[in-house]
Amino acid sequence: MSLNKFSRTLTQEITNPAAKAMLYGIGLTSEDMNKAQIGIASTGYEGNPCNMHLNGLSVHVKKGIQENGMVGLIFHTIGVSDGMTNGNDGMSYSLPSRDIIADSIENVVGAQWYDGVIAVVGCDKNMPGAMMALARLNRPGMLVYGGTIRSGTYKGEKLDIVSAFEALGKKYAGTISDEDYEGVIRNSIPGAGACGGMYTANTMASSMEAMGLVLPNSSSYPATHEGKKEECLAIGAAMKVLLEKNICPRDIMNRHAFENAMTVVMALGGSTNAVLHYLAIAHSAGVSFTMKDIQDISDRTPLIADLKPSGKYYMEDVLAIGGMPAILKYLWQKGFLHGECLTVTGKTMAENLAEAPDLNFDTQKIIYPIEQPLKPTGHIQILYGNLATEGAVAKITGKEGERFEGLAKVCNREEEVMEYLSKGEIKAGHVVVIRNEGPKGGPGMPEMLKPTSALMGAGLGNSVAMITDGRFSGGTHGFVVGHVTPEAFDGGNIGLVQDGDKITIDAVENKIILHVSDEELAERRKLWKPIVSPHTSGVLRKYIKNVASASLGCVTDL
């Protein structure tokens, strides 16, 4: 095999005999010295179902690499469990972990001069972090998704991670027994794999398949399916093609590929976090892709998937209807995807999809026909107004209506929602405003899954709206608006809202309005002070100093 332009082996032979000696020291042979070296970045760790099996998958990837005449060298990067950190201070570390993953992969591959890189990823922030690294490095590479979890069951009902949070809301509302509460908690997570609905992990996995950065079906093989192992073993042959043709990530991650990715997010009812992540990934790839572009895609893309959180089915059900390739093929045939985009198979999207099965609309119920969608346009709407002059992101599937007008119930921290809810102070007609939870104020722009799930569980999901400068989990459903920018910490008007203020959220006109005069807001601003952050050193301090607005993807390298 010819080495690509990043060949480190030849360079080291001339300039760095110590490196060559060290490579012999790790067990490489003379023959290995002329092979391409592939860094395999595993986000595996034992403490999270999404990541617990990834080190094992990385070993299969390495085997496939070795069998195809290259040297595979596994290294590790970090991960944070979004499920476990939701609702506690640990959530502040979740979004920063995306950028640490990107930085660490870039750092290792840049330093070690690997010819290519493969990232084995599982939980929410793993995928965008690794994609950012691939785009920055621009050396041949791809990702392998660890796969979705199987659903759990209790008393005949299918369960997942959101069931556990919603059980808490039912507990507050007194509509679940202690025994059933414990039963739901014990049975929601049956083993390895990422959270099972079209939440953030499966959203990013599906859309990165649409972007062409994984082998076909990577997003639809469950973690424990035999196909996942086969995919890992097949990576070696694909990597060889990328090296021989010198196909680099930026050859794949062009403007049309970003449009393909975001189209799939819209069509499948994916997570609002995809907005943040694709803005950040585009920044890493040097592609112009903005909130306006995302709104344009939303305007032209119907929501056609009956998947959780707002729908009925799990990601594990997708494989049975033909997997992600069948869905992509349908969207492509209907003119929603750019088929000419290059992928990590070395072929175009259209060439890959020629071999994909067709969706059978007589038998499958997950994907609706384009002509009879669940919603004619995308569920993600970018809103502007005096509450969000730089934009906010709403997730409106239509089930909850498209317009909400109500009175503000202000929570200066996420914890106050739970406090007010347990006291019965949040009532139908309220717009719950959760502030000081932005990228800097949170810090880390925490997800509000616990309050939204608790509201759902308390039976208020259809009668209460929620807005925040924080984020929402991919598991969130209900009338919710997040990513409000500027955030309260930066002086955004969300910091000036008072209990009882009237707020209008209009997902048709794309507006979010606080019905308070400019004069009154100016008076309130005179008394306003930003919160004092307790983070005076360490990683969160660095994050607060470097992070950009959510409207720019919360990147840390502007």
Q: Interface with ligand FES includes 50 (CB under 6 A)?
A: yes
CB contact at 8 A, 516 and 256: no
Stretch that binds ligand FES, among 20-28, 78-86, 320-328, 405-413 (CB under 6 A): 78-86
Shorter beta-carbon distance to ligand FES: residue 196 or 495: 196
Choosing from 81, 207, 284, 452, the residue that interacts with ligand FES (CB under 6 A) is 81
Q: How far is the CB of 413 from ligand FES (least distance, A)?
A: 22
- Residues 328-357 touching ligand FES, rule: CB under 6 A, are none
Residue among 61, 71, 123, 285 that touches ligand FES (CB under 6 A): 123
Looking at the Cβ atoms of 123 and 144, the one nearer to ligand FES is 123
Q: Please report how close the Cβ of residue 201 comes to ligand FES at its closest, in angstroms.
A: 4
Minimum CB distance to ligand FES smaller for 71 or for 201: 201
**Residue closer to ligand FES, measured from CB, 83 or 406:** 83
Catalytic hit among 473, 517, 549, 551: 473
Q: What is the distance between the alpha carbons of residues 125 and 553, in angstroms, rounded to a whole number?
A: 13
When asked if residue 201 is in the footprint of ligand FES (CB under 6 A), the reply is yes
Smallest distance from ligand FES to CB 284, Å: 22
Choices 62-70, 79-87, 256-264, 542-550; region in contact with ligand FES by CB under 6 A: 79-87
Look at the block and give the residue holding tokens 């999270």. 48
Select the span of 53-61, 62-70, 75-83, 279-287 touching ligand FES (CB under 6 A): 75-83
What does the alpha-carbon distance between residue 534 and residue 540 come to, in Å, rounded to a whole number?
Answer: 10
State the minimum distance, in angstroms, from the CB of residue 229 to ligand FES: 20
What does residue 457 show for φ and ψ, rounded to 5 degrees? -60, -30
Residue among 58 and 273 whose Cβ is closer to ligand FES: 273
Using CB under 6 A, which of 38, 43, 82, 356 touches ligand FES?
82
Q: Which residues does 196 contact at the CB level (< 8 Å), separation at least 6?
A: 148, 149, 150, 151, 160, 161, 202, 308, 314, 315, 316
Q: Minimum CB separation from ligand FES for residue 193, in Å?
A: 8
The Cα 421–Cα 177 span in angstroms is 19
What's the min distance (Å) between Cβ of 542 and ligand FES? 24
Name the residue nearer to ligand FES (CB basis): 51 or 436. 51
Q: Does 124 bind ligand FES (CB under 6 A)?
A: yes
Give the shortest CB-420-to-ligand FES separation in angstroms. 26
**Residues 198, 215: Cα–Cα separation, whole Å:** 19
Match 């199987």 to its residue by tokens: 150
> Cα-Cα-Cα-Cα dihedral of 277, 320, 48, 121, to 10°?
-40
Identify the helix (H) or strand (E) that includes residue 72. strand 71-76
Segment interacting with ligand FES (CB under 6 A) among 70-78, 80-88, 212-220, 363-371? 80-88
DSSP code per residue over 424-473: T---TTEEEEE-S-STTTTTS--B-HHHHHHHHHTT-TTT-EEEESSB--
Which backbone phi and psi does 389 adopt, to 5 degrees? -70, -25
Contact 482, 554 (CB under 8 A): no
CA 420 to chain centre: 30
> In whole angstroms, how close is the CB of 448 to ligand FES at the nearest point?
15
CB nearer to ligand FES: give 218 or 343.
218
Size of interface with ligand FES, in residues (CB under 6 A): 10
SS3 491: coil
| In the block, residue with structure tokens 């009925």 | 312
- Taking CB under 6 A as the binding criterion, the range among 38-46, 76-84, 180-188, 362-370 that sits at the site for ligand FES is 76-84
State the Cα–Cα distance between residues 350 and 332, nearest whole angstrom: 8
CA distance 192 to 229: 14
**CA-closest candidate to residue 449, choices 92, 166, 55:** 166
Q: Is the CB of 119 or the CB of 513 nearer to ligand FES?
A: 119
Task: For residue 195, state whether it binds ligand FES (rule: CB under 6 A).
Answer: yes
CB of 82 to ligand FES, least distance (A): 4
Closest CB to ligand FES among residues 104, 148: 148
Options 39, 44, 72, 83; binder of ligand FES; rule CB under 6 A: 83
DSSP H/E element including 59: helix 54-67
Which 152-171 residues touch ligand FES, going by CB under 6 A? Answer: 161
Residues 309 and 475: beta-carbon distance below 8 Å? yes
Find out whether 170 and 136 touch, Cβ atoms under 8 Å.
no
Q: How far is the CB of 381 from ligand FES (least distance, A)?
A: 24
* Rg from Cα positions in the chain: 23
Distance, CA of 340 to CA of 331 (rounded, Å): 14
Q: Which stretch binds ligand FES (CB under 6 A): 81-89, 404-412, 458-466, 507-515?
A: 81-89
The residues that bridge with 430 in the sheet, in sequence order, are 407
Task: Report the alpha-carbon distance of residue 205 to residue 213 in Å, rounded.
Answer: 10
* Closer of 50 and 242 to ligand FES (Cβ): 50
Tell me, yes or no, if 97 is annotated catalytic: no
Cα(4)–Cα(240) distance, integer angstroms? 10
Residues labelled as active-site residues? 473
- Which residues would be at the binding site for ligand FES (CB under 6 A)? 50, 81-83, 123-124, 161, 194-195, 201
